[in-house]
Chains A and B, each alone.
Chain A
């Protein structure tokens, strides 16, 4: 029977959203292939987490050990490689999160399992696996075939298979994992992101700037505009990397997740790591001079033009309407 497995990801005592997306994808693939879905949970004091996964999988395979309290690619790899050799699943799905992406390539390579990362979808085709990925800054999709093998592995991009709750009645099975005390790679601690003077997650109106702002000197003009519409300035990662705005203004997968009433994206291409943090905005406006920028797939309204021409006019027009 076809066994599909997913790895449950958790951090600081809660299961991460991506886990329910991989479980949803796993369930669909299991159903399509007359198979069963197993959720693998490596954790510490796992009882309630395991319980909450029962409705999501046919089987919840649990290893409970303090080594697994925090993710560690080394200890996880040792435990999972032993498990996979026994279980021989048809497919293992791991989230393309910053932890999943740290683990999967090493685990697959150790076991000579052919794999692909950051997949949007997957389909079992005999002994092969057909997948779709996005490349070239999100401007093209690629259909690929992972070479024939008994087991495949993928990491799944968040948001590509939205979680759909199920009402399965999975069995909980405990297993004795291979435990290695981390020798080469020791987890020390998590350090919370510094809190700044403004909390962009609480603003109703956000004006986001990207690399299209070109230089730091141009930021003041946008900041004025943001203030004029009672908004707060936010940005993409490159703006923070350049040191132009502090980290707490960054929206995206390695920054903040925001849900303002209005988000205006100026000179932002719309990489998925950015849109992952702002998709939930009620209304999204994008100004970008590239008509093919992926941001226009997320936005409600767009203007294909130079932001430096649009912003001053927009500011005046809004000012006039307010009078």
Chain B
């Protein structure tokens, strides 16, 4: 079984301060840390587990700046055979649609039975690159998948819907699945494997190798902090004081 996994390097913003830069269209990145997108770590693990079971090759692809090669090397250390970086620096207005077009072209001469992506990138919240890619590749897809069983050219895929309801689908391969978090337990790469992966070659493709003028669906006009809605009343003070005040509020409201 030949497998492709798409990996994106993203800033970790859940606990960080995210500030708009002077252009109004970017964020200040110097104090942010970056890592493989969360659901992509699960997609990668699913790819490795599948390869371990049924053999074949695993190719990982990322559209990104040179730093994305760090992410690809982690994947190589965990068990990917080949890695491709598509040069983000060669393409303007890179959005989800353009990203999918670039991955589609980068996969042109590749064989695959299974293509896996994450279900959502935590930087752009798009949940679209995998599904667009499936359409461009001309293969079927299922998104937000939390369980896959593969048997003889077909996959039993389970999508997780609202309320935790599972949708069981029977899908013909080749297919693309966008993987939801929690489907498996992503492994860590060993230090030795990371050292070895540092020496592996990564195929880098840019404008010259990918002869298209990809189209963007959207152009970013402006980034701004979300308008404050019903903002919480912040209770200040040292823990003793703030927690004490909060206890009183709860008591007054008859909640405790």
A residues near B (Cβ < 8 Å) are 11, 16, 71, 73-74, 96-99, 101-102, 104-106, 109-110, 114-118, 130-131, 133-147, 183-193, 205, 211, 229-230, 237-238, 240-241, 243, 247-248, 250, 253-257, 261-262, 269, 271, 283-286, 290-292, 294, 296-306, 309-310, 313-314, 317-318, 320-322
Contacts and interface: CB of A to CB of B under 8 A. Distances in A.
Contacts of A305: 239, 242
Contacts of A284: 232
B123 interface: yes
A115 B217 contact: yes
Contacts of A114: 97, 217-218
B168 interface: yes
Contacts of B256: 205, 229-230, 262, 318, 321-322
Given A117-B128, A190-B167, A185 B159 contact: no
Contact of A102 (B97, B142, B165): B142
**Shortest 3 CB-CB contacts between residues of A and residues of B:** A241-B182, A317-B247, A193-B164
Interface stretch (B9-17, B69-77, B80-88, B190-198): B9-17
A199 B135 CA distance: 40
B89 interface: no
B127 A118 contact: yes
Contacts, number: 265
A254 B125 contact: no
A185 B134 CA distance: 13
Contacts of B167: 71, 187, 190-191
Nearest to B178: A102
Interface residues of B, number: 86
Contacts of A135: 123-125, 223
26 contacts: A101-B131, A101-B143, A101-B144, A102-B141, A105-B132, A109-B131, A109-B135, A109-B136, A114-B217, A117-B128, A118-B126, A135-B124, A141-B225, A141-B226, A145-B218, A185-B170, A185-B171, A187-B168, A190-B167, A238-B181, A261-B255, A262-B250, A290-B15, A314-B243, A317-B247, A321-B247
B255 A283 contact: yes
Contacts of B182: 237, 240-241
A303 B126 contact: no
B143 A256 contact: no
Contacts of A205: 255-256
Contacts of B163: 193, 254-257
Contact of A297 (B134, B143, B230): B230
Contacts of B234: 291, 296, 301-304
Given A136-B27, A144-B218, A73 B141 contact: yes
B221 interface: yes
Nearest to B39: A241
A100 to B, nearest CB: 10
Contact of B231 (A140, A296, A318): A296
A283 B162 contact: no
A106 B122 contact: no
